[in-house]
Amino acid sequence: MEDSTKRSWDVGLGIVGPILTVAGILIGVWQFNVGESRKAAYEHATKLWQQRVDTYSAVAKLAGKIAAPPDDKTFQQSVNEFMSAYWGDMILVEDANVEKAMIDFRTEVADFQQGRSSSDRLKIRADVLMNAFKTSVSQQAPQQ
């Protein structure tokens, strides 16, 4: 190889080498950022999903206590706690179907308290409500 050709190669590599190195670093940083962003989105979705599961579980237990109360005191206390969740935590996490089931259950409880409904009807409303919870949880599970 002639000296001039060799020199040209040296100069070319001297220019291309650092460019490739910088490009590699930039691609690496970009990949890292994309990965971190996806991870953060997944973690955020998982956190929201978990919050939804926790809230649904708490309200499911209250609905069970209302539908099958051991005594009147427990019933009234559970109704009060259910109403707190109805206007509180549930609004943050519920979807449209769960909201409808919550309204139906609440209305049935009001009817029951006024002697217009029965324990059997309350149990069925509770069943509908919990199935709505289950559907909501499975439909909105975070995807990786």
Q: Would you tell me which residues interact with other proteins (CB under 8 A)?
A: 46, 50, 53, 56-57, 60-61, 63-64, 67-68, 86-87, 91, 99, 102-104, 107-108, 111, 115-116, 118, 120-121, 123-128, 130-131, 133-134, 137-138, 141, 144
d(CA 65, CA 63): 5
User: How many C-beta neighbours within 10 Å does residue 75 have?
Assistant: 19
To other proteins, the closest distance from the beta carbon of 16 in angstroms equals 38
To other proteins, the closest distance from the beta carbon of 76 in angstroms equals 19
Check if the beta carbon of residue 114 is closer than 8 Å to that of residue 79.
Answer: no
d(CA 14, CA 34): 31
Q: Looking at beta carbons only, is 8 or 51 nearer to other proteins? A: 51
